[in-house]
Amino acid sequence: MAKRIDVSGLSAYYGPFRAIEDISMTVEPRSVTAFIGPSGCGKSTFLRTLNRMHEVTPGGRVEGKVMLDAEDLYGTGVDPVTVRREVGMVFQRPNPFPTMSVYDNVAAGLRLNGSYKKSQLDDVVEKSLRGANLWNEVKDRLNKPGSGLSGGQQQRLCIARAIAVEPKVLLMDEPCSALDPISTLAIEDLIGELKQRFTIVIVTHNMQQAARVSDRTAFFNLAAVGQPGRLIEIDDTERIFSNPSVQATEDYISGRFG
Amino acid sequence: MSTVVQHPGSLKGARLPKWSPWAIAGGSVAVSVGLGLAAGIESRIQWGLIASLLFVLGTYVLAARVEGRRQAKDRIATSLVWVAFLLAVVPLFSLVWSTVERGVKVLDVYFLTHSMGVVGDSEPGGGIYHAIIGTLEQVGIATLIAAPIGVLTAIYLVEYGRGALARAVTFFVDVMTGIPSIVAGLFILSLLLILDMSFSGFAGALALAILMMPVVVRSTEEMLKLVPNELREASLALGVPKWRTILKVVLPTAVGGITTGVMLAVARIAGETAPVLLLVFGNPFINNNPFDGAQASLPLYIYQQYANSAGSEAAYDRAWAAALTLIAFVMILNLAARGIARWKAPKTGR
Ligand SMILES: Nc1ncnc2c1ncn2[C@@H]1O[C@H](COP(=O)(O)OP(=O)(O)O)[C@@H](O)[C@H]1O
Ligand SMILES: [Mg+2]
């Protein structure tokens, strides 16, 4: 189910401003890849190019190739809507739909994409909530508003909502930065389980988190403010944290800048 | 600061007692009434102004003596806010009061269920049934036309509009907001003349729709802009097409506010007289068909009772009763709007 991502020569723009430049990397299926780097170096921008969410921003434009297994996401005739069903996304701030119950939030992706039988939906909702380690906490309040959950529960609800549509890849943009340490731990455990089924890419500001959850780590940096961000190196997480091949990576990880 | 009574080493200063604003207000009213009677001032408005002035001054002086300068300034700001509030509420209250007082005289079931068909304008009797029918039909048709167009325009402007076309639409909506109602009426009237058609409730509804549309666009636009972008992105990232995202996520989140906006726009046009006078003409008989022939409407009825009755007391009473009905109608719409807004508001309860 999980798919490989192969990026080559990718640049992304906001209007005339080039935010990231010439990025090439491979993301292995059934693994967790972490993106680290100082603020503003384009981690979020790059992540959003991987499911064509970048072009939702007014003025957003992308050059280069992103292969999902054998298909180019930016090839002619590719429908961004289909891409986003294959590549799901979890945002920094938990954003459950405020008008919907817990159940409806999880079912939203399926329901909004066509009609399903009630029993089918019930199955998917339970499976997704279990998959997000949330089932036991919410099984008695499925019909209560999703925005009534705690922040950590809301974020797991958003993860359940994302995996309910069975994507091949799951992108997470600092999913724990608005959460307390306990909720963070719950999400990290969850990521460890989800990587059995999905290809996971996670942006994080927390170096320990990258070391704990990821198999591979990519370090991004930018030469100066107003310059485009670049990929400095990507390697096995262990190597990046013990013996990186670029000096800048070592400086960043050891806290000498950023 | 010598007047401030402060216990050394304490955070508590001297405070005027809780009831002091009421006492000062009562005192200043009493003084102003005494002054007014003594000096033979006729106007109640002048009494009120003197009382307000005394209230503000009295509050300041007392507070400055007892509590100190800073608290006195705080109190003066508070009392100014209260005075301004009263100045705004008094006319409103007196308007509602006199409408109710003079309106209930003839307002009964008979009045609500009969027309003016066989009653002369200056005789007693008759009712507003035909006018209620007219208002409901004209406002209803206007809403059916203006609400969908207005909401769709707002959706275009907020969700899709970029560049020159969106700017042009925004500009024309702004221009439309400023159209005087009589001009909207004349515009439709000129169409009627070109097409060689005659008065009808529908023609009036068209003019009302022109007046209503920009109001709906503006309020809906504001409501849609309040929907956080994160919700749109969350939906798009699930692989939901944009149009479904708007239909299933954006609109439900904003529906309470949109409904309120539409209801308020309805309330605004329900009281329009000028275009109705031009296009619907007025009719003492019941005409249930809005597409053929002259109709009545509540504001038009009020105007005609006043204008055509040569000062007859009976006609004035009917005009007041119709005004009361119209105000009640608008009030009910407002309450309904509030109810819907509360019922549909995104739920945050735990
Ligand atoms: N919507 C936007 N419009 C214009 N510039 C943006 C927008 N979002 C981000 N940027 C710019 O793109 C660069 C990369 O931002 P981002 O991808 O958010 O960085 P990161 O996630 O690594 O902190 C920054 O210089 C930022 O100012
Ligand atoms: Mg970011």
Q: CA quadruple B280, B286, B288, B292: dihedral positive or negative? A: negative
Considering only CB atoms, which chain B residues are within 8 Å of A95? Answer: 228, 230-231, 233-234
User: How many other β-carbons are positioned within 10 Å of the β-carbon of residue A114?
Assistant: 7
Q: Given strand A229-236, what is the order of strands in its sheet? A: A71-72, A60-68, A5-14, A17-27, A229-236, A216-222, A32-36, A199-203, A169-173, A87-90
Positions in chain B whose pLDDT score sits under 50: 1-2, 349-350
Among protein residues, the one whose CA lies closest to atom 27 of ligand 1: A40
What is the spatial distance between Cα B251 and Cα A249, in angstroms, rounded to a whole number? 46
Out of A147, A161, A165, name the one closest to residue B347 (CB): A147
Max Cα–Cα distance, chain A, nearest Å: 56
Task: Give residue B49's pLDDT.
Answer: 86
CA angle (A59 as vertex; B242, A217 as ends), nearest 5: 90
Task: Give residue B8's pLDDT.
Answer: 59
| Contact assessment for residue B200 and residue B293, using Cβ atoms and an 8 Å cutoff | yes
B-interface mutation test, from A47, A95, A174, most B Cβ less than 10 A away: A95
Phi and psi (nearest 5°) for A16? -80, -15
How far is CA B14 from its chain centroid? Answer: 44
Which residues, at least 6 apart from B99, have a Cβ–Cβ distance to it below 8 Å? Answer: B320, B323, B324, B327
Instruction: Quick: pLDDT tens for A38-87.
Output: 999 999 999 999 999 999 999 999 999 999 999 999 999 999 999 999 99
Q: Tell whether the model's pLDDT for residue A195 goes beyond 90.
A: yes
Task: Give residue B347's pLDDT.
Answer: 63
- Per DSSP, A42 falls in state S
Task: Give residue B350's pLDDT.
Answer: 43
As separate numbers, helices (DSSP H) first and strands (DSSP E) second, chain A gives 10, 10
What is the spatial distance between Cα A31 and Cα A115, in angstroms, rounded to a whole number? 32
Return the ligand number nearest the Cα of A220.
1
Could you please state the CATH topology (level 3) that the domain comprising B113-344 is classified under. Answer: MetI-like fold (1.10.3720)
Find, among A175, A232, A167, the residue nearest to A197 by Cα: A167
Asked if the C-beta of B183 comes within 8 angstroms of chain A's C-beta atoms, the answer is no
What number is the average pLDDT over the span A220-241? 93
Instruction: Quick: pLDDT tens for A125-179.
Output: 999 999 999 999 999 999 999 999 999 999 999 999 999 999 999 999 999 998 8
Phi and psi (nearest 5°) for A231? -80, 120
Considering only CB atoms, which chain A residues are within 8 Å of B350? Answer: 148
Find residue A34's DSSP bridge partners.
A202, A217
Contact check, Cβ <8 Å, B235/A97: yes
Phi and psi (nearest 5°) for A214? -100, 155
Own/partner contacts of B85-88, CB < 8 Å, gap of 24 or more, are B86/B52, B87/B52
- Closest atom of ligand 1 to CA, residue A173: 21
What is the spatial distance between Cα B27 and Cα B35, in angstroms, rounded to a whole number? 12
ipTM for the complex shown: 0.93
Cα A44 to ligand 2 centre (Å):
4
Considering only CB atoms, which chain B residues are within 8 Å of A147? Answer: 346-348
| Contact assessment for residue A222 and residue A194, using Cβ atoms and an 8 Å cutoff | no
Phi and psi (nearest 5°) for B200? -165, 160
Amino acid B234 reads A
Return the ligand number nearest the Cα of A91.
2
Phi and psi (nearest 5°) for B227? -70, 120
**Domain ranges within chain B, ordered by starting residue:** 14-99, 113-344
- Mutate which of A11, A41, A50 for ligand 1? The one with the most ligand atoms within 8 Å of its CB, which is A41
What is the spatial distance between Cα A94 and Cα A147, in angstroms, rounded to a whole number? 9
Instruction: Quick: pLDDT tens for A166-189.
Output: 999 999 999 999 888 988 998 999
What number is the average pLDDT over the span A92-115? 90
DSSP structure string for B15-57: ---TTHHHHHHHHHHHHHHHHHHHHT---HHHHHHHHHHHHHH
Return the ligand number nearest the Cα of A41.
1
Instruction: Quick: pLDDT tens for B17-33.
Output: 888 889 999 999 999 88
Q: What's the pTM value of the predicted model, to 2 decimals? A: 0.86
